[in-house]
Amino acid sequence: MSLDIQHIRSQFPILNREVNGQSLVYLDNGATSQKPKVVLDTLDTYYEKYNANVHRGIHTLSQEATDLMEESRRKIQAFINAKHDHEIIFTRGTTEGINLVSNVLRNVLTAEDEIIITEIEHHSNIVPWQLLCERTGAKLKYIPLTKEGILDITKLDDLLTDKTKLVCVNQVSNALGVVNPIEIIIQKAHEKGAWVLIDAAQSAPHTPIDVQKMDCDFLVFSGHKMYGPTGIGVLYGKEDILNALPPFHGGGEMIKDVTMEKSTYACLPFKFEAGTPDIAGIIGLGAAVDFINSIGIQTIHDYEKELVDYTIQRLSEFEEVEIYAKDAEHSGAVSFNLKFDGVHSSDVGMILDKKGIAVRTGHHCAQPIMQHFNIPGTVRASFAVYNTKAEIDTFIDGLKTAIRMLG
């Protein structure tokens, strides 16, 4: 790829630090990515020069802060190609976005309705729907995994019925890095009149997203996985659907008029944004989008695919390594284990950490996947645009040490 990776890396101050006396090799981007200087500086600049509450003041600082925040909303609208900027709702992250939708559906669903999820979901795209079904009596069904660890899409036609009201699926598995066939799922769900929610937490940093082309009804993602701050995320929803749903939180900003007898609610997006938002986080997320755009999300996707393919190639050199869903399409991550009896993924992770290599170990908040494979967890290496093949080689050298010590 024609990327100046060293220039990109120079924009991330944390990559200069050492861990346990070794140069940091950060391969835990699926949990959170590092932040470029432009995002860090944007946060400092907001608090140093513009700090004020938004949408509430006629004074200059308030108006400037409001303008910066709403500019970020428009940046995110363009980033996912939403039709309207008011279809962009700011949340604390993917988890809150999913919980927002599940909570506002409490008075919409009945015991006759059905929701479909999948066995490859993060807990945040399982538990809210379990809670919703417990409260409404609706039935929760799921698309199972095949033996190889990919969705058994052949089961979808039997699962979908006229009672299906919502289908929820991640675009990319956080635990395995597997890319799911969301286009087929959306098409078939819509044929039954169901809405579709896409968890894009693991895809937004890695691949172009076009919600109009995708035709999903909801889409959620988090800022901190795409070079932005923690504690900020996005819920996209189609305008007509969001207008038809009740508010999530009550309080300031989300109202039009309040009397002691009754309240009426503000228009989109403010109906779903009660209280003072994370203004700095929103503006910082806008700066993260600018950073991604400065490289190009398709360019990032293509480069990271090289990293993933190279990692699978290197891991395949070892007969002691089992790669999960090895032959599936991957994006951003690879998950594996050592085949030795009694060896836990955390044993590998601790040895790698001693060499300055950060990976994620455990069940990755996706226990049903681990139950499917009958394992307690995996080692996951996950990537960002600042990673290099040289770092993967360092990671492989560290894995060789783990194999010698644990085998």
Region of 113 please: left (phi>0), alpha (psi -120 to 50) or beta.
beta
User: Out of 147-151, 258-262, 293-297, which region has the weakest mean confidence (pLDDT)?
Assistant: 258-262
DSSP 3-state of 104: helix
Cite the residue boundaries of each domain of the chain with CATH code 3.40.640.10: 40-294
Tens-digit pLDDT profile for residues 211-270: 999 999 999 999 999 999 999 999 999 999 999 999 998 888 888 888 899 988 889 999
Q: What pLDDT, on the 0 to 100 scale, is given for residue 311? A: 98
Q: What pLDDT, on the 0 to 100 scale, is given for residue 371? A: 97
Residue 386: how many CB atoms within 10 A of its CB? 21
Tens-digit pLDDT profile for residues 181-213: 999 999 999 999 999 999 999 999 999 999 999
Tens-digit pLDDT profile for residues 382-404: 999 999 999 999 999 999 999 99
User: Out of 58-67, 250-259, 341-350, which region has the weakest mean confidence (pLDDT)?
Assistant: 250-259
Q: What pLDDT, on the 0 to 100 scale, is given for residue 253? A: 85
Residue 51 CA, distance from chain mean position = 28
| Token pair of 187 as six digits | 């098409």
Reply yes or no on whether the pLDDT at 24 is more than 60: yes
Of residues 285, 286, 222, the one with CA closest to residue 30: 222
Reply yes or no on whether the pLDDT at 276 is more than 60: yes
Topology of the domain covering 5-31+296-406 = Aspartate Aminotransferase, domain 1 (3.90.1150)
Mean pLDDT of the region 330-352: 97
Of these residues, 168, 216, 267, 365, which one is catalytic? 365
Topology of the domain covering 40-294 = Aspartate Aminotransferase; domain 2 (3.40.640)
Q: What pLDDT, on the 0 to 100 scale, is given for residue 178? A: 98
Q: What pLDDT, on the 0 to 100 scale, is given for residue 264? A: 87
Q: Average model confidence (pLDDT) for the chain?
A: 97
Tens-digit pLDDT profile for residues 364-383: 999 999 999 999 999 999 99
Cite the residue boundaries of each domain of the chain with CATH code 3.90.1150.10: 5-31+296-406
Q: What pLDDT, on the 0 to 100 scale, is given for residue 245? A: 94
How would DSSP label each residue in 175-239? Answer: TT-BBP-HHHHHHHHHHTT-EEEEE-TTTTTTS---HHHHT-SEEEEESTTTTS-TT-EEEEE-H
In sequence order, which residues have a C-beta less than 8 Å from that of residue 390 and are 6 or more positions away? Answer: none
Helices (H), ranges, 296-388: 297-315, 345-354, 367-373
How would DSSP label each residue in 73-102? Answer: HHHHHHHHT-S-GGGEEEESSHHHHHHHHH
Please state, in angstroms and rounded to a whole number, the distance separating the CA atoms of residues 14 and 220.
27
Tens-digit pLDDT profile for residues 26-52: 999 999 999 999 999 999 999 999 999
Tens-digit pLDDT profile for residues 76-120: 999 999 999 999 999 999 999 999 999 999 989 999 999 999 999
Q: Which residues pair with 220 in a beta bridge?
A: 199, 235
What pTM does this model have?
Answer: 0.96
Confidence bin at 1 (pLDDT 50/70/90): low
How would DSSP label each residue in 254-311? Answer: SEEEE-SS-EEEPPTTGGG--SS--HHHHHHHHHHHHHHHHH-HHHHHHHHHHHHHHH
Q: What pLDDT, on the 0 to 100 scale, is given for residue 56? A: 80
Cα angle 323, 327, 331; round to 5: 80
Identity of the residue numbered 242: L
Catalytic-residue membership of 168: no
Q: What pLDDT, on the 0 to 100 scale, is given for residue 299? A: 97
User: Out of 61-65, 138-142, 256-260, which region has the weakest mean confidence (pLDDT)?
Assistant: 256-260
Question: What are the C-alpha distances in Å from 52 to residues 88, 155, 328?
Answer: 22, 52, 48
Cis ω for the linkage preceding 269 (within 30 of 0): yes
Please state, in angstroms and rounded to a whole number, the distance separating the CA atoms of residues 23 and 40.
22
